[in-house]
Amino acid sequence: MFKLITSHRSVIIDEMLRFIEGLKVEASNITSSKWYFDAIDRIYLFSTSGKMIRGGLILFTEEMFKGSYSKDGVYLAIATELLQSALLIHDDIMDKDMIRRGSKTIFFQYKEIGDKEGIEDSYHFGESMGICIGDIALDMCFSAVGYLSNVKVINRIIKKFGLELSIVGGGQMEDIYLSSSNYIPTEEEIISIYKMKTSRYSFSLPFSLGAILSEVDDSVIKLLESFGDDLGIVFQIHDDEIGLFGNQEAIGKPIGSDIKENKKTLFLIYLMRLATEEEKRRLSGIFGNEKITKEDVETVLNLIEKYKVREMVLSKKEEFANKAREKIKLLPVEEKYKKHLFELVDYNLSRNK
C-alpha cells in the first residue's frame, strides 16, 4: 500500500515544478526580490524531499471512487504538500530543530546565511526568514487550489482547507503550552492533540479532499474522515515510539529529541503515572532540558522498560488500529481498495521512519 501511494510521487513532483515555474513567471512581472525567488526554490526542494504521502492519499482516494485520478486531484495533492511544508517549517522554528529529513531545517539554513552576512543576531534572522517562507508556502497552497477546474467543489475545498488548518494551529498551541509547562495532561488530552496536530491534516484531510473531488455522499466522507482520525493517531503514537527507540539515520533527527523538547506523549504520561516520587524528580530534570545527555535518554528508556510503558503504549496503538480496521469494512468501495487500506494500517504499525 505504501508503494502504491508513493508511486504518485513523481507525478506530483513534475506538476509541482510546472506550477512553481509558472508562479515565478507571474511573480517576475511584479518583483525581482532575490529573497522571494530564493524562498520559492527552497520550498520546492523541501517539499519534494518528503514521501508525499498526503498528496498520494488524495490521488488514491480519487482512484478508489472513480477508477482514476484527475488533474484537479494532482493540484490538490500539490496544495496539500505545500501545506505540509508550511507547517513543518514553522514547527521546526517552534521546536528549535536544526535537522529535518536528514538535512538542515529551513530557518537554520537562513541562520547560517546570517552568519556569513555578519548579521548580529543571526538566529533571530533565521527564525524570521523561516516564518516568512512558511507563510509563502501556505500562500502557494491556496494558489494551487485556484487551478481546480471543477467549480462545483472549489468553495467546499477552500472551506475545508481553512477549517483543518485552523485546527492544526489550535493543536500546535496546545502542544506549545504543554511543552512549556509542568502540567501532566490526561490520556484523553494527549489523544486530542494527536488528532488535531496529526490525524486531521495528515489523513482525514487528504481522504476528505479526494472524496469531495469524487462527489461522494457526505456520509461516506464522514466515515473516511473518522477512519483518518484513527489512522493518524496510530501514526503519531508510532512516531513517538520511533523517536525513542528508532534509528537516528533513518528518522533524520536525533533520538530523544521529544525528551529534550518536553513533548507530552503517552510514553511520558504513563511513565509519570507509575514512577516513584524520586524517579519523578529525576525525570523532571531531564524532560525539557536542552542539554540532556545520552545517559539521560538511557535513564528514561530504562524506566520505560522497568514499568513496561512501551507495552501499554503499544496496546493503545493497537486499539486505534482496530477501530480503523472496523471502519474500512463499512466503506462502500471495492474489496481491492479495502485491502490496500488494511495494508496502510499495518504499515503505520510497523514503519521504521
Q: Which domains does the chain have, with CATH numbers?
A: 1-149 (1.10.600.10), 153-353 (1.10.600.10)
Low-confidence ranges of the chain (pLDDT < 70): 1-2, 247-255
Nearest-angstrom CA–CA distance, 204 and 299: 37
pTM of the shown model:
0.91
CA 109 vs CA 123, 255, 261: distances in Å? 10, 22, 21
Confidence (pLDDT) at 254: 66
Angle at 174 between CA 168 and CA 178, to 5 degrees: 145
Return the pLDDT at 251.
53
Q: Alpha helices, DSSP H only, in the chain?
A: 2-6, 9-28, 34-47, 53-66, 71-95, 106-117, 122-145, 151-180, 187-194, 205-213, 218-245, 248-251, 257-260, 266-274, 277-284, 294-306, 309-330, 335-350
